[in-house]
Structure 1
C-alpha cells in the first residue's frame, strides 16, 4: 500500500478518483491513495469515507488490511481542469448494514436518484380501467385455417391464428416526441482479462452511445464484473450531469482476471430490488460477456451431464408480479466466439429476455442500439389474451405460444396467454388448435356457420397507466359450414405461422442432434425444413419473414455441419435464432451480415448518411424480420454515429501522418491560427 507522500504517478494519471470521479494527475497538487484492491482515490476523498466504510473499499467492498493515515486538513480544491458536477449527481458512498457472510450483501443500494412517475401511473392509487390509450389500441385479429368446413365433417386439430399488433406512430406523429414509459436500465459488463484491448474499447464506445440515447426521465446503472462485481455508478437520471457522470465512470473500467457472471447479476438484482424510488416504468438488464463463468458452482441438478445454468439467475429475476409478468428481463449478449452460449441463453430464457450472438465484435454498438431502441418504445405492458369458446361443441386442445406462458382450462372451453410487454408496432402470433364438431350434431348456429371463439386482449397502456380491453376486430371467429366445402384454400397467414413454429421445433431438434455429435443428422433436419419453407406460396410471393427463415436455415446448416464449426459459432447462432423465434422479438445475431450492416471486415463500405428509416427497414426486412421501426431507427442512428467516428478517425490518422512526414503541425480547416 502506498502512502500519500509516495503516489503511484502512472496509476494516478490513468485512473480517475473512484469516489468523486475527478481527474488525478501528478501535477494537480493533490495527494493520492492506491488501495490493495487497486482502486485509486484522492487522499482527502478517502479520508472522509474510510471511517464509515469499516475497513471496506467504498467501491468494491474489499477488506483492507491497512488504512490510509487520516490527518486533519482542509479539503483540497478541485483542479481547474475538473468540471464540477451538482452534488445530487455525484455518486455517494453507499450505506452499510452489519457485515454478513458475503461482504457485498452488506451494501444497501438505496441511493438511486429520484425520478417522476410515469404519466398516469400512481404508486398509491388503483389502476384505472378502460382508460384511453395514448397511442391508439392494440389491434387483435383472428384467422382460421380454412374459411369453411363441410357441414358433415369434424376436425380434431383445426388451427386458428390470434394476431396482436401494438400501436405505433402515424406519419403525422413522426416528428413529435413519443409518449413512453421511463426506463430503469442496468448494464452488467464483462471486464475480464479476455476483454483487454479493442474489445473493451468497443464496449465503452457502445455504452457511450447508450448513454447518449437515454432521456432525462430514464435512469442508468453500470455494473462491471471480473472475479468480483462492482457497481460503477448508482442508478442515476440521464440528465446532462448524469450522462457526464456515467461517461466519466466508464473510464474507470479496466480488464481484470476472472469471470463471475452470477456475481454481476446478483449486483444488478440488488440495484433493482433495493431502489428507493420507482417510476412505474420499464425495468431491464443488459448482460454482455465474452467468457464462461468460472466462479459459480453449477453442479446441482445435472441433466445428461449439462450444468445447471439456472444457478446463475438470482431469485429476484425469477419472481413474477401478480399479473404473471417477470420483474425485469435480462437481455444477454454473447460477445465473440469464446462465450458460454448455453449459459447466456438460459439466463435470457428464464427471465423473459432475448439472447443475441455478437459474432462480429465491431457491431456491439449496433446490437445495444437495437435492443435499447426497443426498450425505449414499450407501449404495452402486462398484456393477456383471453380466449372463450362460443359454440358448445368447440374445444381448445393446444396452444402454441413459444416462451409465453399459456393455459387451457380442463374442459377446453377457455384458454389464456401471457403476452407481457410489447414495443411500438411489435407483433405477436399465437396458434390455437381446436376441436370443431360436425354441424349437424350440434345446435345453436344453424347450418350456415359455426361460431368458434371470442378473443379479448387486456393490457396496461405503458405511458397513460390505464387498463385497456380490446376484442378482436371481428367480435367472433366464425367458420362457414356449407354442404360441400369444395376446394377451399388454406389461409396464408395460418400456413405461414404453422411453418414458422415447425421450423423453430426443427432448429431445436437439429441442435440436439449436434450436441450429441450427429452433425449429418442435424444438417438433414435443417435442409428438409429449408426445402419445405422454399416451396411455400408465401416464399414465392416474396414474404420477408419466410425469406429470412430460409436464409437462416441455410446459414445454420453450414454452421452445424462439423464439430468445429458448431463449437465455434453454430451453437450460439442456433440458440440466438431459437430465442428470437420463441419470443418473436428482434435479435442482434444477424447484424454481421454485410448486406445488412453496410460494413465489411475492413470497415465502412457503404455510406448511410443519406439513408432513412424506410430505406433501412427495406434493407433489413429479410434478415431482421422481428425488428420494429423504433429498433431499426436506433440501429440507423448507431450506424451513422459509427460511420462519423470512423471518418473522424481516418482524418486524425491522416493529420498524424502529415505531422510525422513534415515535422510540424499542418493547417487544419477551421483553425483560426492557419
Structure 2
C-alpha cells in the first residue's frame, strides 16, 4: 500500500561513507571488569561487561524515519505551534541520505507525504506540509501508529537502513487500542506525551524495541523542540545495527567455567543454546557513544593444587558489516587467578555501582505502583529507602551516584500530592523506568534535569535546539556536517575502534603463545 518510497540518495559528503582505513571491526567493543582472583573451591563470580559503540559517526546508518503526529482538536494553539517548530528542526537536521515521512491522526490517520529522500526540494515540501497542519477531531492513536508502521513495512529500499517511528500525542485515545497494533518487523517506536492530559501509561507501553518514552511539559515553548533534538541526536548516529553479544565457554581445554548461571542485560532479549550453553544477547541498534552494561554470573569449577591462571569466559560481538552480512568479531577471553589464599570473590566498585543503579530502578517501579494505588506515603517511603541504599555504594565519587540521587529527589518532589503525581510524577517514573531498562537517554519532562545515558551528540543537539529556538532562520548544520566537524576535532576517532580491535587480537594471540611455551617448558622439566 505504501511502496512509493523514494530511492535513497547517496551520501552528500564523506561523513556518510566509511572513512579511509575504516573497518567494520571495532564498531562495537566489550570491556570486562571482575575480581582478579577466586578461591580454589567452586565459586560464583560476577563479571561486568561494558558493550559500547564507536565514538565516531562516520559511516553511520542512513535513517528512514516516520513521525506520527497528533493533530486532534486539543492540539490547537500553542501546542501545535510548538510541534511545528520542533518538526522544522528535525527536517533541518536530516541529511540527503536520510528519508522522512509524515503521518497525522485525529479521527483517522493520513499520510500527507511518502517516505522522501532529503533533497532540498523535499525539505521545502515537508516544511510546507508541517506549516499547513490544522488541529481538529478526535485522538485515534491506533490508526496513526498502524499507518506509520505500514509505511516502513512496505518500503522498496531497505538495505542497511535503520527504520524508526516517533509517535506523539497530547490526549487519551478514543478510537481502538494502539497497544494492539502489530509490529512484526520489530521497528523501534519512540513515544512522546505532550502535556498532563496525555495517556502516560499507553504511550509508555507503545515505546518498544529499544524505543523510549518521553513526557513533554505543557509549560514553556521549547519543550517539544528539546525532546525532538535528543531523539534525533540518537537516530542520526546509529553506528552499529542489530548488535549481538555472544558469551561462551572458552575453547581452551583447561578452562575453569562450569556454567554461565545468569546474564542480566536489562530489557533485551537473550537466547541460550541448550547444547553448548552459549548465551546470545540481542541489543538492536546502538547510537554512537552508547554503552550497554551487562552483569554475568559464572560458576567456576572446584580446583586443586597450587595457584594458577585459568580461562573462564569467551566474549564476542556480531553485527552486519557495511554490506549487510552478519560478521562475528572475536572479543576476548577472560582470565582469573585461582588462589589458595583467596577466601571469597570481591565485587569491583563499578559492579557495585551498577547493581545499585538496577536496584534503584526497581525502587522507582515499585514506588510508581504504590502511587498508582493511591498510596503516596508508601511510595515516598520506598524512594527514601532507595536514597539510603545509595550510601552503601563504596565509590561515592562516582558521578552515577549523584545522578541517581538527583533522580530520586526529583521524583519525590513530584509525589508531594496526588495532583502533582498525576500531572508530572507518573510520567517521570514511567520514563525513568524505561530509560534504565534500555540504558538509553529519555526526557523525564526536563531534558536537562537528569542526563543519564546521554551521548556527546545529544549534548551538542540540545545546544543547537536552544539556538534554533532563539533564531529559527539561522542556518542549522545537518547530521553529516555535524559528523565532519567531529572528525576534524578528533580525527583518530575514525579508526580508533578498529585499531583497538586489532591490537587486542594481537595481544590475545601473544598470550596464547606464551601459555603454550610455558606448558611445554613445564612438561619438559617434569
TM-score interval (norm. to shorter): 0.7 to 0.9
Alignment partners' CA distance in 2, 1:644 and 1:159:
51
Q: Answer yes or no: is 1:566 the counterpart of 2:459.
A: no
Alignment partners' CA distance in 2, 1:464 and 1:631:
28
Q: Answer yes or no: is 1:636 the counterpart of 2:463.
A: yes
Q: Answer yes or no: is 1:576 the counterpart of 2:446.
A: no
The structure-2 alpha-carbon separation of the partners of 1:592 and 1:625, relative to structure 1 and needing over 3 Å to count, comes to closer
Q: Answer yes or no: is 1:556 the counterpart of 2:411.
A: yes
Residue in 2 that maps onto 1:88: none
Residue among 386, 391, 413 paired with 2:246:
386
User: 1:534, 1:550 within 8 Å by CA — same for their partners in 2?
Assistant: no
The structure-2 alpha-carbon separation of the partners of 1:197 and 1:561, relative to structure 1 and needing over 3 Å to count, comes to same
Q: Answer yes or no: is 1:212 the counterpart of 2:81.
A: no
Matches within 5 A, 1:342-491: 342-349=201-208, 351-361=209-219, 362-390=222-250, 391=255, 393-410=257-274, 413-440=277-304, 447-461=307-321, 465=324, 467-472=326-331, 475-485=332-342, 490-491=347-348
Alignment partners' CA distance in 1, 2:25 and 2:229:
23
Unaligned runs of 5+ in 1: 1-107, 120-130, 170-176, 299-308, 321-325, 597-622, 648-674
User: 1:116, 1:279 within 8 Å by CA — same for their partners in 2?
Assistant: no
Residue in 2 that maps onto 1:147: 36
User: 2:363, 2:383 within 8 Å by CA — same for their partners in 1?
Assistant: yes
Alignment partners' CA distance in 1, 2:24 and 2:274:
37
The structure-2 alpha-carbon separation of the partners of 1:343 and 1:590, relative to structure 1 and needing over 3 Å to count, comes to closer
CA offset at residue 547 of structure 1?
1.5
SS at match of 1:439: coil
The structure-2 alpha-carbon separation of the partners of 1:585 and 1:645, relative to structure 1 and needing over 3 Å to count, comes to same
User: 2:207, 2:213 within 8 Å by CA — same for their partners in 1?
Assistant: yes
User: 1:117, 1:280 within 8 Å by CA — same for their partners in 2?
Assistant: no
Residue in 2 that maps onto 1:494: 351
Alignment partners' CA distance in 2, 1:214 and 1:279:
18
Residue in 2 that maps onto 1:162: 49
The structure-2 alpha-carbon separation of the partners of 1:185 and 1:200, relative to structure 1 and needing over 3 Å to count, comes to same
CA offset at residue 531 of structure 1?
1.8
Map Cα deviations across residues 191-231 of structure 1 (whole Å, 9 max, x no partner). 11111100000100000010111011111111111111111
Alignment partners' CA distance in 2, 1:112 and 1:331:
22
The structure-2 alpha-carbon separation of the partners of 1:455 and 1:203, relative to structure 1 and needing over 3 Å to count, comes to same
User: 1:384, 1:417 within 8 Å by CA — same for their partners in 2?
Assistant: yes
Alignment partners' CA distance in 1, 2:30 and 2:172:
42
Alignment partners' CA distance in 2, 1:218 and 1:570:
36
Residue in 2 that maps onto 1:251: 131
CA offset at residue 150 of structure 1?
2.2
User: 1:330, 1:352 within 8 Å by CA — same for their partners in 2?
Assistant: yes
Matches within 5 A, 1:190-229: 190-229=70-109
Residue among 90, 109, 113 paired with 2:2:
109
Residue in 2 that maps onto 1:510: 367
Residue in 1 that maps onto 2:148: 268
Residue in 1 that maps onto 2:382: 525
Matches within 5 A, 1:114-153: 114-116=7-9, 133=23, 136-144=26-34, 146-152=35-41
Alignment partners' CA distance in 1, 2:472 and 2:198:
28
User: 1:117, 1:278 within 8 Å by CA — same for their partners in 2?
Assistant: no
User: 2:100, 2:118 within 8 Å by CA — same for their partners in 1?
Assistant: yes
SS at match of 2:339: coil
SS at match of 2:143: helix
**TM-score if structure 1 supplies the norm length?**
0.64
The structure-2 alpha-carbon separation of the partners of 1:427 and 1:384, relative to structure 1 and needing over 3 Å to count, comes to same
Kindly indicate which of the two structures has a greater share of residues assigned to strand. Answer: 2
CA offset at residue 404 of structure 1?
0.7
Q: Answer yes or no: is 1:588 the counterpart of 2:452.
A: no
The structure-2 alpha-carbon separation of the partners of 1:624 and 1:360, relative to structure 1 and needing over 3 Å to count, comes to farther
User: 1:452, 1:478 within 8 Å by CA — same for their partners in 2?
Assistant: yes
The structure-2 alpha-carbon separation of the partners of 1:525 and 1:486, relative to structure 1 and needing over 3 Å to count, comes to same
SS at match of 1:481: strand
| Higher RCO (CA < 8 A, seq sep 6+) | 2
**TM-score if structure 2 supplies the norm length?**
0.82
Residue in 2 that maps onto 1:34: none
CA offset at residue 164 of structure 1?
1.0
SS at match of 1:248: helix
Alignment partners' CA distance in 2, 1:564 and 1:220:
39
CA offset at residue 285 of structure 1?
0.7
CA offset at residue 408 of structure 1?
3.4
User: 2:46, 2:297 within 8 Å by CA — same for their partners in 1?
Assistant: yes
CA offset at residue 118 of structure 1?
8.3
Alignment partners' CA distance in 1, 2:26 and 2:276:
32
Determine which structure has more spread, i.e. the larger CA radius of gyration: 1
Alignment partners' CA distance in 1, 2:262 and 2:11:
38
The structure-2 alpha-carbon separation of the partners of 1:411 and 1:520, relative to structure 1 and needing over 3 Å to count, comes to farther
Matches within 5 A, 1:171-190: 178-190=58-70
The structure-2 alpha-carbon separation of the partners of 1:359 and 1:436, relative to structure 1 and needing over 3 Å to count, comes to farther
Residue among 149, 166, 171 paired with 1:286:
166
Alignment partners' CA distance in 2, 1:508 and 1:410:
33
Kindly indicate which of the two structures has a greater share of residues assigned to helix. Answer: 2
SS at match of 2:207: helix
